[in-house]
A and B are shown apart, each in its own frame.
Chain A
Amino acid sequence: MNLNLKVWRQNSPDEKGQMVDYQLEGISEHMSFLEMMDVLNQKLINSGERPVAFDHDCREGICGSCSMFINGEAHGPVKGTTTCQLHMRSFKDGDTIFIEPFRANAFPVIKDLVIDRSAFDRIQHSGGYISVNTSGNTQDANATPIPKENADLAMDAATCIGCGACVATCKNSSAMLFVGAKISQYALLPQGQVEAKDRAQNMVAQMDAEGFGNCTNTGACEVECPKGISLSNIARMNREFLDGSITK
C-alpha cells in the first residue's frame, strides 16, 4: 500500500517543531507500524536526511517504550494494542497518517517522537514499593494465603506498562490511571497494608508536583490504555488517599 505520512519533527526540546510530509510506497499489510517507520527511516538515511527519532525496544507490547499519537489516538486505532503491536493491515492504501509524540507538560519532547517520561519514575520513587530488604529470611511465600480474587485484581493493576498513553489521552494530562494502578496493586495485597496510608499521600503529592492534571472522570484513559487498566483503580486510589488524609 501507499501512504501519506505527516510526522512531527522537532530537533531538540527548545526548538519549535512542525509536521512534515512523507510519502511511502509498497508497504506490506503484514508489517508492524514500527517496521513501517523503519522503512521510512531507511529511505531518509539513503537520501541523506535525518531519520525520525522514536522510542521503541521490545516490540512485543510489554516494555512500554513506544509511544506515538497516531491519527489522534495514543498507540493508534486498535484497542488494547501498543504501537509496536499495531499492524499495517489496520490501514488502507492511500491513507494519510498523522504521527505525533505523546503530548503533556510533564512529558517534554526530547526529539521528534521521543519524550521524557522520567516524571513517572519520580512518582514511583515517592512510594511505589514495599519496604522489604533482601535477606533470604522473609517468611515463606505460602505463609499468608491471599484470596485469588484479590491476587488477580492486583495482577490486573500491575500489568500497567508505564507507557503514558493515559496521560497523553487525558484532556487534563492526568496521571491518575498510572498512579492508581500502582497504589491499587499494593492496596489489594496484605504486604502493602503497612505503608498504605503514606504511599497514597506521597505518590499523589509527587504526581501533583510533576504537573499532571486532575481527573474529571471522562474515562478516556481506560479506553486508550493498551493494557486495559480499569478506571476502578482511580476510585481505589481516591479511597486510599482519603483514608490516609482523615486517619493519619
Chain B
Amino acid sequence: MSTLDGKIPGGPISEKWTNYKNKVDLVNPANKRNIDVIVVGTGLAGGSAAATLAEQGYNVKAFCYQDSPRRAHSIAAQGGINAAKNYQGDGDSVYRLFYDTVKGGDYRSREANVHRLAEVSTNIIDQCVAQGVPFARDYGGLLDNRSFGGVLVSRTFYAKGQTGQQLLLGAYSAMNRQIARGKIKMYNRHEMLDVVIVDGKARGIIARNLVTGEIERHSAHAVVLGTGGYGNVFYLSTNAMGSNVTAGWKAHKRGAHFANPCYTQIHPTCIPRSGDYQSKLTLMSESLRNDGRIWVPAKKEDAQAIRDGKLKPTEISEEDRDYYLERRYPAFGNLVPRDVASRAAKERCDEGHGVNATGEAVYLDFAAAIVRYGKEQATIKGEDNASESRIKELGKAIVKAKYGNLFDMYKQIVADDPYETPMMIYPAVHYTMGGIWVDYNLMTSIPGCYAIGEANFSDHGANRLGASALMQGLADGYFVLPYTIGSYLSSDIRTGQISTDTKEFDEAEKQVKERIDSLVNNNGTNPVDYYHRKLGNIMWNKCGMARNEEGLKEAIKEIAELREDFWKNVSVPGKANELNQELEKAGRVADFLELGELFAKDALERNESCGGHFREEYVEKSGEQKGEALRDDKNYAFVSAWEYTGVPSEAILHKEKLEFNDIELKQRSYK
C-alpha cells in the first residue's frame, strides 16, 4: 500500500485554481498542430473536451460506440444543471455550491476539485447560452431556475425535462464545427478495447470498428477517457443498454487505479420493475420532488390490499398515509439527497408498506400540488368562487407545463394516469460516483491517460447531488482538462507522430484479437444476457442499497464463480468480422464480471456507512439520528484506489488521504 498524491496546488482553496492556471505550462499554437489527442466517448465530458481541444488547435480523434456522437447517454439526463449564478438572489455563491457538494458527497470527495467545479459552474451556463442551448426562461426573458435535493437554494438551470439532451446537442454542435474544420476526426460505431502504453505513457488505443469488425490501431500523445459510469454492472439501471465499463477497465488493467468502486448512486424516483423480461429502468426526474409528496400506506393491511388490487391509493384517507420523508426529515422533507430518500423507501418497503404487485414501490403524489397551483391560478384569474373541479383543472395545467413530458413518459410505460392517481416509484441504480482515480490534473495513474466526467471518481464523494453530473461533465471537458492537459503535452512538442508499428501496439492488438476469438469460438450454451442478469442479481441483492459483511463475502465468491462459468459456457453467435451485437455485449459483460468483484471487495473493506455506501453494521444506534448512516472519519477519510494484479479481489489498496481544511466534518443532517 502506498499513499497517493493528488497533486493539489498550494494556497487558499479559493485561489488554487486561479494560481494553477496562471502558472501552468502552455503549448504554443504552432506546436499544438503537431500533437494528437484521442478522446473516447462523446457525452458531455468527452464531447466538450474534444471540441475544446480541437478549438485550441490539437488534432483530436474522437470515438463513440453509438452511430452518432449525439446519442451518448448524457442525452437522457432530465432535470438540470447546477451553477452558482445566484440569479434568484436567494443567497447562493461559489462557496455554498462547494459546501453543498462536499456535504452532499458525505465528505468523501476532494475539496480542491469540488471548489474548482463550483468556480467554473458559472462559465458553463454562459458558454451553453452562447452556443444556443435553449434553457427555460421567465416572461422577462431571463433564465429560470428550480431546486434540487440536498440544497436550500434554486440554482438548477433546465430545458424542460430534457436538459441533458440540450447540453449534449450543444457540445455536439461544438464538435460539428471542429469536424467540419478537420480538427476532429470522428469515429462513430467504434469501441475502444485497449489502451496502448509505450515507455510508460498512454500513446494510443486499440479499437474495434463495430460495423466491419476490423481491429484498428490509433496513436496519440495523450488518451482521454470520457466513457461514463458502470451502473450497468447491476444489469438493471437507468443507463443506456450500451453503457459499459470496458474502456475504464482496460485502462485499469494497464495500470490506472480504480477508485471507490462501491460508491453507487441508487436514484429514489424510478419507475418500478414490472417483470423478469425487463431490460432497463426509467428515471423520473428528481425535479418531481419539488412538487410531489412521497408516501406509503401507514397501515400494513392497506398496503397488502393495494398489492392485491383490492384498494386504490386515492381511497386511503390523509391520516392513513405516511409521508415518511416529511416525518423523518422535516427541514428538507421530500427534497433530501438521493441516498437518504432511496434508503427511506427501501426501509418502508422492507417493513411491508410497499405498493405495486411486487411490494417494491412507494407513491409520489401530485394531488396536493395540483390543488395548490389551482388555487393560485384561481386567485390570479379572479375566480374567487372556483369549484373544486375548476381548481383541479387549473392546477393540472400548471403541473402539465412543468412536468408534462415526464407524466407522458410515465403513462406510456405504466399505462396509468399520474394526474389522477399517484405515481409509483422505486429506487434504481443510476450513477456511479466511483471511477478511475485521477489527480488534480484529471490524469490517471498512467501518465498521459486522463479520465473525465462520470468515468473519474473525484467530485461527488460518496453521493452525488442532483443536477451535478451535467455540471461536472461539462466542467471537466470545457474548462478543466483543456488547461491541465497542456502541462503534460508541453513536454511532447518535439516527440513527433507516434508510430503504431511498434511491439506495444502488436502486443495489445494480439491480446484483443485473442479475446474476441475465444468469445466467438466458445460454442457454449448460455446467451450473454443470462450471465448479465445473474451478475445483476448478485450485485443488487448483496452490493445494493444496503450491504453487510456476510453478503459481500458471498458476492465476491459468487461473481468469481460466475465469471469462470461465463468463459466456459457463454454462447456468442456470429463472427468476429461483422456487425455482431452479441459479441459487443459479451466483451462488456466479461469486464463487468471483473469489476463487480472489485466493487464487492471495496464495499467489504470500507467499514463505515457513507453516502451511497450503506453498511448495515454501521448505523447510529441511538438518539435523534438513530438508524442513519454512521461515518468513520478517523479511519476512513480516504479514497480507496485499487491497483490491478490479475485477480480483482486481490487488488492492492492505495490510499489518498482526504483533508478538509475549509469545511468542518459533521454528520450530515437533513432533519
Contacts and interface: CB of A to CB of B under 8 A. Distances in A.
Nearest to B184: A125
Given A111-B579, A191-B129, A124 B409 contact: no
Contact of A141 (B129, B177, B275, B574): B129
A61 B241 contact: no
A155 B51 CA distance: 23
B350 interface: no
A112 to B, nearest CB: 9
Interface stretch (A127-135, A169-177, A236-244): A127-135
A51 B581 contact: yes
Contacts of B415: 87, 89
A222 to B, nearest CB: 18
B71 A64 contact: yes
A148 B141 contact: yes
Contacts of A129: 131, 173-174, 176-177
Interface string B121-143: 00101111111101111111111
Given A31-B275, A80-B408, A134-B52, A60 B142 contact: no
Contacts of A20: none
Contacts of B126: 136, 138-141
A35 B413 CA distance: 12
A246 to B, nearest CB: 24
B70 A134 contact: no
Contacts of B135: 141, 151
Contact of B527 (A46, A126, A186): A46
B130 A130 contact: yes
Contact of B132 (A46, A60, A124, A185): A185
A68 to B, nearest CB: 14
A85 B68 contact: no
Interface in A105-152: 110-111, 114, 116-118, 120-121, 124-126, 128-134, 136, 138-142, 145-148, 151-152
Contacts of A128: 173, 176
B573 A45 contact: yes
Contacts of B141: 145-148, 151
B453 to A, nearest CB: 16
Given A45-B571, A50-B574, A51-B573, A186 B130 contact: no
B179 interface: yes
A12 B507 CA distance: 31
A151 B142 CA distance: 10
Given A148-B138, A158-B134, A39 B408 contact: no
A28 B277 contact: yes
B413 A133 contact: no
A191 B132 contact: yes
A81 interface: yes
Contact of B241 (A59, A80, A133): A59
A58 B75 contact: yes
A136 B161 CA distance: 26
Contacts of B51: 134
A63 interface: yes
Nearest to B527: A45
Name A's interface SS.
Answer: loop
Contacts of B131: 129-130, 132, 191
A124 B134 contact: no
Interface in B397-432: 408-409, 412-413, 415
Contacts of B279: 32, 34-35, 38, 59
Nearest to B280: A59
A150 to B, nearest CB: 9
Given A132-B130, A139-B126, A63 B173 contact: no
Contacts of B574: 50
A42 B529 contact: yes
B282 interface: yes
Contacts of B129: 138, 141, 191
Interface residues of B, number: 80
B165 interface: yes
B406 to A, nearest CB: 11
Nearest to A131: B177
Contact of A125 (B55, B176, B571, B579): B176
Contacts of B70: 64, 121, 162
A126 B180 contact: yes
A154 interface: yes
A215 interface: no
Interface in B257-299: 274-275, 277-280, 282-283
Contacts of B331: none
B73 A53 contact: no
Contact of B409 (A51, A60, A65): A60
Contact of A62 (B162, B188, B278): B162
Contacts of A30: 274-275
B383 interface: no
A151 B136 contact: yes
B479 interface: yes
Contacts of B128: 141
Given A45-B571, A118-B188, A159 B162 contact: yes
Contacts of B87: 142
B76 A65 contact: no
A138 to B, nearest CB: 4
B478 interface: yes
B579 A110 contact: yes
Contact of A63 (B73, B159, B166): B73
Contacts of B522: none
A6 interface: no
Given A58-B75, A62-B162, A158-B169, A31 B482 contact: no
Contacts of B280: 59-60
Contacts of A148: 137-139, 141
Nearest to B283: A60
B260 to A, nearest CB: 26
B569 interface: no
Given A151-B134, A191-B131, A191-B132, A134 B48 contact: yes
Interface in B526-575: 527, 529, 571, 573-574
B160 interface: yes
Contacts of B482: 134
Interface string A25-59: 00010111011001100101110111101011111
Residue with the greatest number of chain B CB neighbours at <10 A, chosen from A46, A63, A124, A154: A63
B601 interface: no
Given A42-B527, A130-B173, A131-B177, 9 more contacts: A28-B275, A38-B277, A38-B529, A58-B71, A59-B241, A134-B127, A136-B127, A151-B135, A155-B159
13 contacts: A35-B277, A42-B527, A42-B529, A58-B73, A63-B71, A87-B412, A120-B68, A130-B130, A130-B132, A132-B130, A132-B174, A134-B52, A145-B141
Interface of B: 48, 51-52, 55, 66-71, 73, 75-76, 85, 87, 120, 123, 125-132, 134-143, 159-160, 162, 165-166, 169, 172-174, 176-177, 179-180, 186, 188, 211, 238, 240-242, 274-275, 277-280, 282-283, 408-409, 412-413, 415, 478-479, 482, 527, 529, 571, 573-574, 578-579, 581-582
Interface of A: 12, 28, 30-32, 34-35, 38-39, 42, 44-46, 48-51, 53, 55-65, 78, 80-81, 85, 87, 89, 110-111, 114, 116-118, 120-121, 124-126, 128-134, 136, 138-142, 145-148, 151-152, 154-155, 158-159, 161-162, 185-186, 189, 191-192
Q: Which 3 A-B pairs have the closest CB atoms?
A: A145-B141, A129-B173, A155-B134
